[in-house]
Every structure is written in C-alpha cells, then in structure tokens.
Amino acid sequence: MAAKARYKRGNVQNTYGMIMATVAVALLLIVVLVRSFSLVQKRDQYQNRISSLQAQIAAEEERSEEIAEFETYTTTRKYIEKIAKEKLGLVYPGEIIFKDESSGN
C-alpha cells in the first residue's frame, strides 16, 4: 500500500512537473514570437531608412556632378565675358550697347 501511495504521489508530481515544463516552454515560445515580430518591424524600418539614404546619396552625387560642371564652366572665356558684361558692365572696344527704355537703366 505504501508503495502504491508513493507511486501515485510520484506520478502526480511528475504530471505537475510536465505541466510546468510545458507552460514554461509555451511562455518562451510566446516571448520569442513577440520579439521576432518586433525585430521584423525594426528590419522594415531600417530598410526604409536605407532606401531613403540611398536616394539622398544619389541626389548628392548628381549635385556634385553639377557643381563640377559649373566649376569647369566658370573657367571658360565665355563665362568670364558674361560676368564682365553683366556684373561689371564691361564691353569690348567698339562694341555698341543697346538699352531698353522701359527698363529704367
């Protein structure tokens, strides 16, 4: 009789242990799934940020090319003549300037 009681008590304790282990595994699974979901959201946010930054890089590279072209243009004789005429009012000897009367100049 004592052996049966010990066996039954051990069997009940074993059942409780299995239930507790199952609950612990289930909780761990829930935590992993929730964490996985948040990591997927973060990954998507980072992907969006990467796309945005790549677009900014492309725009800045294009701007850099435009600046390089402008720098090359500013060293040409055509540009120097244009600035001399527009900003400084200089003209070639014998060149005639026509001004519009409505402009007030």
Q: pTM, whole model, 2 decimals?
A: 0.52
Provide the pLDDT for residue 5. Answer: 59
Q: Across the 105 residues of the chain, what is the mean pLDDT of every consecutive 10-residue run?
A: 60 85 97 96 97 98 97 94 87 82 63
Provide the pLDDT for residue 10. Answer: 61
**Cβ atoms of residues 61 and 54 within 8 Å:** no
Q: Angle at CA 68, nearest 5°, toward 62 and 69?
A: 90
Domain definitions of the chain by residue range: 2-92
